[in-house]
Amino acid sequence: MKAYKEMSRDELLTLKAALEEEYKEEQAKGLSLNMARGKPGFSQLALSMKMLDEINSSSDMRTLLGNDTRNYGDLDGIGECRQLMADMMGVKKNNIIIYGNSSLNIMYDTISRSVTHGVNGSTPWCKLDKVKFLCPVPGYDRHFAITEFFGIEMIPVPLDNNGPDMDMVEQYVNNDAAVKGIWCVPKYSNPSGISYSDEVVRRFANLKPAAEDFRIFWDNAYCVHHLYEDEQDEILNILDECEKAGNPDMAYMFASTSKISFPGSGISAIATSETNVEFIKKQLTIQTIGHDKINQLRHSRFFKNIDGLKAHMAKHADLLRPKFEAVLAELDKELAGLEIGSWVKPRGGYFISFNALDGCAKAIVAKCKEAGVVLTNAGATYPYGNDPKDSNIRIAPSFPTPEEMAAAAKIFVLCTKLVSIDKILESK
């Protein structure tokens, strides 16, 4: 394939005319496809339906320790569910607190509590003039929304295939006491799909924060969300590494079963040092009498143990893989060599991150929408919705069928080509 930038003005104009015809044909099909959010597809939801049979009116409602899940008690979660989440997150049961249905809610709570009450005895952030968070980019818009909501200044940090730019992270964290946290999706990152290298994780654990209340917000959302049985990323355990480095309390790890069982009806957990667990429980005991233990029992009995959960994730992978591959095949076939975009083939997670020519992302997303394909808003993967290069686009292939994904990907590459040609023509 000849790179577009090597083409003459005339070549580009001829190509554009042909592509515009194609676009009109696609538009005429009247598609309506949504690739905006990491929403499991119908077939994925069906995988967990049998979980709903685990608990019925004749079930023994007691935990392994004999506690009645139907009544008050077990503030930090029932034992077997804490064990399951601990095994999934690679930590000990004592490091786990089970929350409600949403790990995002735990992250919100954790920041909210830091704002009103500080961190393990530090000054509440609301009493400080300035609080800053580092935000590896591209990243997860809902993380950025939380820090923005609390008036926390967000500083973008570039992410490469090994993780965030650690020179920059160290520079900020070790010198600026206003930097209180960093958002990380360390495995199958949202949206780039990359996983942090061992060196990156170790450099995180060995930070020497200027702020005593600096915390790593380690959103391990995709810890068991592989696409391939034989090609899985493994990352180092941040809690273990922090402990080794003499920073035992520096990291909060988050996870949920939202994309394992049911989004909105799953189980979420935080994993952190026992010191942090004790501090968090002091707030939790004020906030609630306990979370939904019947749902914890339902999950524990359905998955049985970490092996059961992993076997379940292999079924998810079988359903997701063809969708990812449909997009990747189209990108490879239609865009390779044109030098109008780059992407990484992820081994897990929920997204494909596409970097268009600078200044093209918004126009591509808009053009896709006109042809019935809705993508995440361009810019959403950056703090304040502001991608300074207007280049990154997040593709979420999970919800449509593989056939729909192929159709959507066709429109996506077509729009990318058309917008890129216009951009290149501007400078010819």
Q: Which residues bind to a copy of itself, rule: CB under 8 A?
A: 37, 39-40, 42, 45, 48-53, 55-57, 59, 61, 68-73, 100-102, 104-105, 108, 112, 115-117, 124, 126-127, 142, 145-146, 149-150, 262-265, 283, 286-295
Q: Give the nearer residue to a copy of itself in terms of CB position, either 16 or 37.
A: 37
Task: Provide, rounded to whole angstroms, the least separation between the CB of residue 406 and a copy of itself.
Answer: 22
Q: Tokens 């394939």 belong to which residue? A: 1
Task: Provide, rounded to whole angstroms, the least separation between the CB of residue 391 and a copy of itself.
Answer: 26
Task: Provide, rounded to whole angstroms, the least separation between the CB of residue 74 and a copy of itself.
Answer: 8
> If you write DSSP's letter for every residue of 255-324 in order, what string do you get?
EESTTTS-TTSS-EEEE--HHHHHHHHHHHHHH-S---HHHHHHHHHHH-SHHHHHHHHHHHHHHHHHHH
Q: Give the nearer residue to a copy of itself in terms of CB position, either 115 or 424.
A: 115
Q: Give the nearer residue to a copy of itself in terms of CB position, either 47 or 352.
A: 47
Residue of 47, 89, 44 lying closest to 306 (CA atoms):
89
d(CA 188, CA 376): 18
Q: Give the nearer residue to a copy of itself in terms of CB position, either 115 or 360.
A: 115
Task: Provide, rounded to whole angstroms, the least separation between the CB of residue 93 and a copy of itself.
Answer: 20
Residue of 156, 143, 161 lying closest to 254 (CA atoms):
143
Q: Give the nearer residue to a copy of itself in terms of CB position, either 42 or 234.
A: 42
**DSSP helix/strand/coil, 364:** helix
Task: Provide, rounded to whole angstroms, the least separation between the CB of residue 47 and a copy of itself.
Answer: 11
Q: Give the nearer residue to a copy of itself in terms of CB position, either 154 or 364.
A: 154
Count CB atoms within 10 A of the CB of residue 315: 14
- Give the angle subtended at the CA of 218 by the CAs of 80 and 258, to the nearest 5°: 50
d(CA 249, CA 284): 18
d(CA 127, CA 147): 16
Task: Provide, rounded to whole angstroms, the least separation between the CB of residue 49 and a copy of itself.
Answer: 4
d(CA 363, CA 378): 9
